[in-house]
A and B are shown apart, each in its own frame.
Chain A
Amino acid sequence: MVRVGGQDRLAPASPQEEWLQRVARGDRAAFERLYASVSGTLFGICVHMLKDRREAEDLLQEVFVAVWRNAWQYDASRASAMSWLTTIARHRAIDRLRESSPIDPNGSLDGLGLLLDPDPTPDEHSEARSERSRLDDCMDQLGERPRALIHTAFFEGLSYRELAEREGQALGSVKTWIRRGLLQLKACLEP
């Protein structure tokens, strides 16, 4: 998505936002600090979704190259820096999943030799947490099937067809459950 302008906020909302805005102006030191701060979060998304450590490393590299080149498209008035960055990582992971042969839907993260980053996610401040609990509360109001399907779709990056195969359900039913869930979710979040 291409966006420019509209940044009428006077001060950056987070260090990540400030670094991202400096990266947009070609500041390499800010890019290094941004990498140090958020690479653990983005790598976690890459590994979790691709379930392949080497491919996740490759994807993380691709994501940061894209961040350096596209930082000027970041608009602080539309999304927090962490939301923008994690969305890029997640979408690029899904792109890879769609391009590659289907992953083992029952694959797990066990045995990948992962080292958990002990630091908390950079934006685990109260605002991010309250957004999340609102989303969780609204998810709790959905039926069991839509809730489970939307969750799996978001965290595993599975397509409609892959979800239908995994659940052993008709494709049309899976689409309907998810669409109904999404509509209810929006109505709940933005009444």
Chain B
Amino acid sequence: MSVHDIGEHHDADGGGPAGDDLRAAEYALGVLERDDRIQARKRVQDDRAFAEAVAGWERRLSAWRGYFPRLAPPPRVWTHVCDALDFAVAPEIDSSWWNRAAPWRVAAGLAAAIALVAIVKPFIGPPGTLVKRDVVIAPPAAEEVAKPVAVLRRADGSVGWLASLDRASGKVLMVPVPTPADPGGKVDELWLRDGRGVPVSLGFVSNEKAHTIVVPAAALDRLAVGSVLSVSLEDKAGIPHASQSDRLVAAGPIETM
């Protein structure tokens, strides 16, 4: 067989299972030009079989990782990482959930959404006193105070949903940062899994309106610290599904309960 036969019989541009696996190998190896690479990455997100093929090649090739030189980075890189993640700003106010959830602290721009779920840190001072602030918000009623919150982030780090958790009543209030509906007609489904288990569906979750979701009794013990809430795109029919698709859109850990 001449060198050129392979190109014809296993052309990664030509599709087919062999072509798909070659394309996955080319992506994992890193030889694709910019546009082909972007296309392949998009396929990793949309095509489960292709994603599996890429993962297989990455696993095979990563055996070489030990050959790279190992170099100590200068200390300033860690400082920059902390700055970028807003770690340096950790005001010691008190021990409210707000501080305990510091790594997942919501950006200032989401203040409105937070107010909506009534998880605003209660004001200090006698009732009726206006504490001097830029924005004056009425103190929330006692039963609305201090519900733990999980922040579900998208892969780019932006916030997708806030989940206000109420274990006593077995309810989760989901507040989305509104996004356009999936052009493919899929809908968002909420899942809950503990540290090791498979996700359990909590049903449909809106991408535009806040609403309360009742956690099934069987899944209630998963509503605990260390569990993860996630949202994936699923077919409208069949919700709640038995298993989660690969099209995950956001996830976040339960930090406090």
Specify which of A120, A123, A155, A159 lies most central, judged by the most chain B CB atoms within 10 Å of its CB: A159
Minimum CB–CB distance for A105 against chain B, Å: 14
Asked whether, in the complex, the Cβ of B73 is within 8 Å of the Cβ of A39, the reply is: yes
B81 touching A65, Cβ below 8 Å: yes
Q: Which residues of B contact A3 (CB under 8 A)?
A: 246, 248
Do A2 and B155 touch (CB < 8 A)? yes
* Given A4-B230, A61-B84, residue A69 in contact with residue B153 (CB < 8 A): yes
Bin chain B's interface residue count: 35 or more
A61 and B248 contact, CB distance less than 8 A: no
B74: interface (CB < 8 Å) = yes
Q: Which residues of B30-83 are within 8 A (CB) of A? A: 30-34, 37, 44-45, 51, 54-55, 58-74, 76-78, 80-81
Given the complex of chains A and B, what is the CA–CA distance between A73 and B228 in angstroms? 11
In the docked arrangement, what's the CA distance between A64 and B37, Å? 22
The answer to whether A5 and B198 touch across the interface, beta carbons within 8 angstroms, is: yes
The complex places the Cα of A9 from the Cα of B59 at a distance, in Å, of: 18
Complex contact A7–B66 (CB within 8 A): no
Contacts of B176 in A (CB 8 A): none
Cβ of B25 under 8 Å from chain A: yes
Produce 1/0 per residue, B84-114, CB < 8 A to A.
1101000000000000011110000000000
* Cross-interface CB contact of B68 among A44, A128, A153, A158, cutoff 8 Å: A44
Closest CB in chain A relative to B19 CB, distance in Å:
10
Chain B residues near A158: list those with CB within 8 A: 30-31
B15 CB to nearest chain A CB (Å):
14
> Is A132 an interface position by the 8 A CB rule?
yes
* Contact of B61 with A154 in the complex, beta carbons under 8 Å: yes
Name A's interface SS: helix
* Chain A residues whose C-beta falls within 8 Å of the C-beta of B181 in the assembled complex: none
- CB neighbours (8 Å) of B124 from chain A are none
Given A24-B253, A132-B66, A1 contacting B51 (CB threshold 8 A): yes
Q: Please name all residues of chain A whose beta carbon is closer than 8 Å to the beta carbon of B147 when the two chains form the complex.
A: none
Contact check, B253 vs A79: say whether CB atoms are below 8 A apart.
Answer: no
Contact of B72 among A115, A153, A154 (CB under 8 A): A115
Q: Mark B131-148, 1 if CB is under 8 A from A, else 0.
A: 000000000000000000
Residues of B contacting A178 in the complex (Cβ-Cβ under 8 angstroms): 26, 29, 31
Q: Are B72 and A8 in contact (CB-based, < 8 A)? A: no
Distance of A29 from chain B, by nearest CB (Å): 11
Stretch at the interface among B2-10, B164-172, B201-209, B210-218: B2-10
A residues within 8 A CB of B226?
Answer: 25
Q: Max chain A CB contacts within 10 Å: which of B34, B70, B251?
A: B70
Asked if A98 contacts B71 (CB within 8 A), the reply is no
Which 6 A-B pairs rank lowest in CB-CB distance, beginning with the nearest? A131-B63, A43-B73, A83-B62, A25-B253, A86-B65, A176-B7
Could you list 8 examples of A-B contacts with CB < 8 Å? A1-B44, A39-B77, A43-B72, A73-B155, A132-B63, A132-B66, A153-B31, A186-B25
